[in-house]
Structure 1
Amino acid sequence: MVQLHMKLHLVQLWETLRSSYWFVPALMSVTAAVLAILLFLVDQEARERYLPFLSDLYVMDAPGAQAILSTLASSAITVAGVVFSIAMLVLSNASSQFGPRLLPNFMRQGGTQIVFGGFIATFIYAILVLTRVRSTDDGADIPHLSVSVALILGVLSFGLLIYFIHRVATFIQAPNIVENVGTRLIETFGSLFPEAADPSGRDRPKEGELQLPADFAERALGIPAPGNGYLDAIELERVRNIAERNQLLVHLLKRPGQFIIEGHVLALASPREAVTEKIAAEIGKCFLLGPQRTLIQDAEFAVDQLVEVAVRALSPGINDPFTAVNCIDWLGAALSFLATRTLTSPLCRGTDGRICVVTAPYTYEGILDAAFNQLRQNARNNEAVAIRLLDMIAVLTEAELPEPYRDALIRHARLIYRNTLGNLPDASDRADLEERYGKVLHTLPETDSRKD
């Protein structure tokens, strides 16, 4: 159980480190310092026996080596400051145009972290080697191998600068940002819902199976939240082990992504007489809280990130329907992938087959609401976006879908059609909208299509 607890905490820590600008540069800086020390030892031990050719490779006295290393160090730290300033400017513009919730995605880009770390590492290495270059009465004491590596790092740093300029110029383009967010959405669906779906519905629990005992609420004890914050993840396996060990039935009232208020009930555990203060505290520790939503177990947050880009593109201040349409295309790809996945069952059984934990599960309806609601509300006056939404739904409904998934799609198609139709004054625009809506209805069974 401790191992499971540590694993999820390590995942949470790793997500934090990946979204920071200090971890990779710090790691590269330490590596540069260790490299400088090791190469100096090699210079000391093997200079005469193995590396005499380095002294003939270039003619350099101590002042010359010191000048080169000083120039390299000052240039590296100066360019590092420029790189950091450009990165902050890009983050500021991206936050205002695409939304602040995408900042962790931008900061997670390894290329920028490596470039920043490369210049810092070059600076630290050059400074450390500079301390080893000295003039003596017997001549210059120059660690040739260390100085040669410093020159190589300088050349590589120049390549990093070119790469960084190209990286920034391509990454800030709206289609590339949308692609990045859309790809992350598909990856999140794949990691949270790894099992393939059965369109017949045989692999999904029936509604009757989700019902708790009639006296459950009366016999249950509420588990209070240990603090304030967003629920990043739930250690479900640990909750199951606690429930099985103590013969409990635990109902989780919250799911990842929801905001938690300290002292409010997170879960119910029954029977209450079996729930000691220690057990309640153990269950409360299975809920990992954080200052912001993450993609560890929050499927709807991944959807919200892509929807936010589209909604901001439709705002009067930006007015960029092409980016919104691009977001809808990637959203369609992600929802098509979701249709092939089985949503996690809300029932967790122990080793004896007894139901130990009932979760607050994700549903197709809930995920599709997150995908369509805000887009529909902001696209009611934009024919191009509304038509693309209906086109996307028509494509999705052509495939074999679970019944709840198909029903939710059709419901949103009707809402889009009705909300947009009355806001289009031109007859040709209304005809285009009706044509797209007709394509959606064409995919329905005859009994469903007659409802409209």
Structure 2
Amino acid sequence: MKSLFNRVFSFFHTIEGKIAFYPTLFAFIGFHFAMLMLYLEKLGISTFIIEHVPELVINNADTAKTLLSFLTGGIISIMVFSFSMVMVLLNQASSNFSPRVLPGLISNKNHQYVLGIYLATILYNTFTLVGINPRDEEQYQLPGFSVLLGIIFTVVCFGAFLYFIHSISQAIQVNNILDSIYKKAKKKLIAILDNEKESTPDFPDTSNWVSYYSSETGYFQKFAVNNLLDICTEEDLQIKILPVQGVFVLKGIPIIKINREISDELLNKILSNFNFARGELVEDNYVLAFKQITEIGIKAMSPGINDPGTAINTIDYLTELFAYRIKKNDKTVLVKDEVSRIFITTVNFKELLYQVMVAYRTYCKTDISCVQKLFIMMTYLLQQDCKLASYKKDILEEAEQLYTDIQQTIQNKKDLERIDKIYKKLSSYSK
């Protein structure tokens, strides 16, 4: 039962990032609420309201139909406009920043809530309108209270539309995009650091272990940690997860190593806890934040955009994220009942720093302001407490690579003197 719950939770976490999830959920609620109100109207809820607050109830069939039709048409118009704005937002973000930021923008729950409110209100008003069926009978009572709720929901839609315009105008600003990516990655890194012990537990040599292969193709996003730990404990297994989280895994390549041979049934049970998808979210993989922020910075330095200010901002955010990353171990081992059960292959600090720096060295080495900012970033990191002593060596190596490129690229003596001064200060922290 626990295993099933964890899988359902993992599946929900995956689909809630889709742009249609919450609108569909709200539409479902709107339809069923309309059915509930039609049932309550049969029980005489409008009659009760008329007896106590008659001013709130519309008791004319033509007026009620005209009003609901008018309001529903208006909501459809603003919903179409809102969807168009979302498409414009995604197109601009892809063109000006990076296509990698799109999943994060699409998964913005506030925008999904607004679109969901529109759909729920449209369905509610439509089925309430269908329920208005006056007959030439004295005992027939129009669903006046339901019409009143339709008017209230429409007013809520107008308020949501104003919020949506404000939110969409904020979401397209590069500073807000960077801040959103940074906060998600920071939250993920802090959670990892909180769960990480002072020292990494030992894990056996896996060179002679049995390899098992992926049954799916897609980006390896995450796995059900608790489920896999329970399986390892019950079956007395130790598992090494081979692919780095976030990489594209092809069907048929090795995905795990296990300390002994297992049955096909048990293998399928283990692999069912791995989540593959075509998209990537920072909430699942903090490394993606480094990629996205770097790509935004590099795109800003392209000739078509030429925005060094944004590139400098991206370096500021990367500095803060690297400051959290150097507090983390390069190895991740999950323990249960004092036994090392799962070894997770992760991107080590040296590789992560190299991939970021090689992009900036390639595209920003001619801009002295960006170069200075990169040296300032590495100087700051050298002053921080590192989890491993090798991290500082990695930082100094990247600083040396950057300095070498600068010597070959920048010709201005004044700029070179300034860079020499910064580099000598940075190098002093190695002593």
TM-score between both structures, scaled by the size of structure 1: 0.85
Deviation at 1:242, TM superposition (A): 4.5
Partner in structure 2 of residue 365 of structure 1: 350
Partner in structure 2 of residue 204 of structure 1: 199
Deviation at 1:94, TM superposition (A): 0.9
CA distance 1:346–1:400, change in 2 (3 Å): closer
Deviation at 1:70, TM superposition (A): 0.7
Of 1, 23, 26, which residue of structure 1 is paired with 2:24? Answer: 26
Deviation at 1:235, TM superposition (A): 4.0
Tell me which moved more, 31-40 or 63-72. 31-40
Of 215, 235, 240, which residue of structure 2 is paired with 1:226? Answer: 215
CA contact (8 A) 2:332 2:346 kept: yes
Partner in structure 1 of residue 128 of structure 2: 129
- 1:9 & 1:321 partners in 2: Cα distance? 45
Alignment of 1:343 with 2:329, yes or no, is yes
**Structure 2 counterpart of 1:397, one-letter code:** L
CA distance 1:384–1:185, change in 2 (3 Å): same
Of 30, 35, 38, which residue of structure 2 is paired with 1:37? Answer: 35
**Structure 2 counterpart of 1:96, one-letter code:** S
Number of corresponding residues: 428
Report matched runs for 1:23-422 at 5 Å.
Answer: 23-44=21-42, 45-52=44-51, 54-57=53-56, 61-138=60-137, 141-195=141-195, 203-205=198-200, 209=202, 212=205, 217=207, 219-271=208-260, 274-295=261-282, 297-339=284-326, 341-343=327-329, 345-349=331-335, 351=337, 353-402=338-387, 403-422=389-408
CA contact (8 A) 2:57 2:144 kept: no
- Residue 193 of structure 1: SS of its match in structure 2? helix
CA contact (8 A) 1:192 1:299 kept: no
CA distance 1:56–1:415, change in 2 (3 Å): same
TM-score between both structures, scaled by the size of structure 2: 0.89
Structure 1 segments unaligned to the other structure (5+ residues): 198-202, 447-452
CA distance 1:20–1:283, change in 2 (3 Å): closer
CA contact (8 A) 1:221 1:268 kept: yes
The CA RMSD over aligned residues, in Å, is 2.8
- 2:242 & 2:181 partners in 1: Cα distance? 29
CA contact (8 A) 2:315 2:373 kept: yes
- 2:225 & 2:69 partners in 1: Cα distance? 55
**Structure 2 counterpart of 1:104, one-letter code:** P
Deviation at 1:419, TM superposition (A): 1.5
**Structure 1 counterpart of 2:274, one-letter code:** F
**Structure 2 counterpart of 1:232, one-letter code:** Q
- 1:242 & 1:153 partners in 2: Cα distance? 49
Post-superposition CA distance 1:46-78 (Å, at most 9, x none) = 333443355435776321221111101111112
CA distance 1:152–1:355, change in 2 (3 Å): closer
- 2:56 & 2:247 partners in 1: Cα distance? 64
CA distance 1:81–1:441, change in 2 (3 Å): same
Structure 2 segments unaligned to the other structure (5+ residues): none
Deviation at 1:194, TM superposition (A): 2.4
- Residue 255 of structure 1: SS of its match in structure 2? coil
Deviation at 1:141, TM superposition (A): 4.0
CA distance 1:237–1:129, change in 2 (3 Å): closer
Deviation at 1:172, TM superposition (A): 0.9
CA distance 1:283–1:124, change in 2 (3 Å): closer
CA contact (8 A) 1:54 1:144 kept: no
**Structure 2 counterpart of 1:419, one-letter code:** D
CA contact (8 A) 1:379 1:420 kept: no
Deviation at 1:405, TM superposition (A): 2.4
- 1:295 & 1:77 partners in 2: Cα distance? 33
CA contact (8 A) 1:251 1:358 kept: yes
- 1:220 & 1:356 partners in 2: Cα distance? 14
CA distance 1:249–1:136, change in 2 (3 Å): closer
CA contact (8 A) 1:62 1:141 kept: no
CA distance 1:125–1:441, change in 2 (3 Å): same
Deviation at 1:222, TM superposition (A): 1.8
CA distance 1:297–1:47, change in 2 (3 Å): closer
Deviation at 1:106, TM superposition (A): 0.5
- 1:283 & 1:46 partners in 2: Cα distance? 54
- 2:3 & 2:290 partners in 1: Cα distance? 28
CA distance 1:330–1:401, change in 2 (3 Å): same
Deviation at 1:304, TM superposition (A): 1.0
- 2:234 & 2:40 partners in 1: Cα distance? 59
Post-superposition CA distance 1:405-449 (Å, at most 9, x none) = 22222222222222123211212222222232233224x143xxx
**Structure 2 counterpart of 1:224, one-letter code:** Y
CA distance 1:36–1:227, change in 2 (3 Å): closer
